[in-house]
Amino acid sequence: MSQDTMKIMTMKELEGFLFRQLQQQFAACMRSILETWDNEVMEQRDKKRYRLKDQREVSVETVFGTVTYSRRLYQDRHTQTHVYLLDQLLSFDGNQKLSPHLEEVAVRMAVEGPSYRSSAEQLEAFVGYKVLSHEAIRERVLDLGAVPEAEVPGKKSPARILFVEVDGLYVKLQRCKQRGMENRIAIVHEGWERNGKRVQLKRKRYYLHQGDGDFWEGFGDFLVRHYDIDEQTWLVVGGDGASWIGECESFFHRCIYQLDRFHVARDLKRYIGHIDECWDAVRKALAAGEGNALMEAMESVSLEKIREDLREDWKKFCAFMNRHREHMNDYREKLRAAGIDTNGMRPMGSAEAQMRVMARRTKRRGYSWSEKGVQAMLRLVMARKEGRLLMDTSLQTTQTEKPAMTSLRKILKQVTQQSIGCVKGMIRLLQGAAQATPLGDALKGLSGR
């Protein structure tokens, strides 16, 4: 028994061997499909317009290895240009040498982190050979991040009330006079909904401000592109009190600005969290959304009870809170006064949690970025969190209609017979590896099927 088991493959070797064989079979199948379609394009093309010039071989990296196939080059007599009609049919530029699916897998790995180098290594481990370098993946992220989001006509969401969480994400820059930059981001949603035991934001969208223009002007254009809004639409904006965030009230007609409760609670805890009687009163006023009651509770705190090294900061914080007294009032009171049903609405304050998603990819491990690089990465992270597919930069066809092509089912039926022969060949290889072992006897039975 020990002699028999010594002569067969290990589980790891068997899995690796079969995976490589299947990669070859998938590549052969894909080549057959592509060349069949290329032949049909040649027969069905507009021969008065497209003159056949040449047939060329191209290799494309895919999720199951390198696929090499032939495609025909044509001269377009109308435009005097050379085109590959198969590429136009597939909406794919074969000269890119990288399949759209493999490209998307690589970019998703890079977006989810932790680094470009890590995504290249994961891709190599998945496919079985080195497909892309980390620098090539970085270039694809930059290219995709620079593509503007496609507008979908007729798909604007009607909105009576929009909730907006705004914050800035500071990242370090490299090879630049500036040491860092603040990326101004807004998260827009239409309320809250339950997902099991958790509560999540409803129909969430992200806005990343780019360029030197005014943030709220750019954000206003973003809202017009994605939402059906008018002067009757209410915006409830949450922020940390930065001056540029507070400008929202002067930009929009119906806007309620709320100071972010997370930051306020964190600072209050730092200053007076150890003073039980004061902390209890402040916490209740904050939870109730009563700005005046909160300020009264804060002003009642004796300065002597504050740690000596924090007293000056406490004075500045009290002055800051006094300026934002009305921004601590519960926004739902204003909406109810306007005749709006606030059932299901919750206090604002999720900006920090949303920004943590961005920071996890851009600030961990002390990363530094180029300005173009960080904005491209942020845009792709946002697209991923919204559940959108990555932006499509594939070749767009110029043909008015696509020809009727043989279905995949019919081609696969033809390829199946070839695959059966290849599978039998794999079994014979395994028989040779197993020699006269019980495994070899079992494989003989399989090869006869």
How many domains does the chain fold into?
4
Tell me: do 236 and 358 sit in the same domain: yes
Tell me: do 203 and 234 sit in the same domain: yes
* Structure confidence at residue 431 (pLDDT): 54
Low-confidence ranges of the chain (pLDDT < 70): 1-7, 148-155, 389-449
Q: Which domain holds residue 72?
A: 2-93+394-445
* Structure confidence at residue 433 (pLDDT): 53
What's the rounded Cα separation, in Å, for the pair 122 and 119?
A: 5
* Structure confidence at residue 221 (pLDDT): 92
Peptide bond into 114 cis (omega under 30): yes
Q: Are 27 and 62 in contact (CB under 8 A)?
A: yes
Would residue 153 count as lying in a domain?
Answer: no
* Structure confidence at residue 71 (pLDDT): 93
Tell me: do 59 and 184 sit in the same domain: no
What's the rounded Cα separation, in Å, for the pair 325 and 295?
A: 7
* Structure confidence at residue 413 (pLDDT): 63
Tell me: do 329 and 270 sit in the same domain: yes
Tell me: do 52 and 137 sit in the same domain: no
Tell me: do 318 and 439 sit in the same domain: no
Tell me: do 235 and 168 sit in the same domain: yes
- The answer to whether the predicted template modeling score (pTM) of the entire model surpasses 0.85 is no
* Structure confidence at residue 155 (pLDDT): 67
Would residue 269 count as lying in a domain?
Answer: yes
Pairing of β 234-239 and β 161-173: parallel
Residue 236: beta bridge partners? 163, 256
* Structure confidence at residue 176 (pLDDT): 77
Tell me: do 195 and 251 sit in the same domain: yes
Q: Are 51 and 75 in contact (CB under 8 A)?
A: yes
Tell me: do 49 and 108 sit in the same domain: no
Chain position carrying tokens 């990363």 = 367
Tell me: do 343 and 357 sit in the same domain: no
Tell me: do 342 and 289 sit in the same domain: yes
Residue 89's nearest CA partner among 403, 393, 408 is 403
Would residue 385 count as lying in a domain?
Answer: no
**pLDDT digits 0-9 by tens, 146-189:** 776 655 555 677 778 999 999 999 999 887 778 888 999 999 99
**Chain centre distance of CA 76:** 38
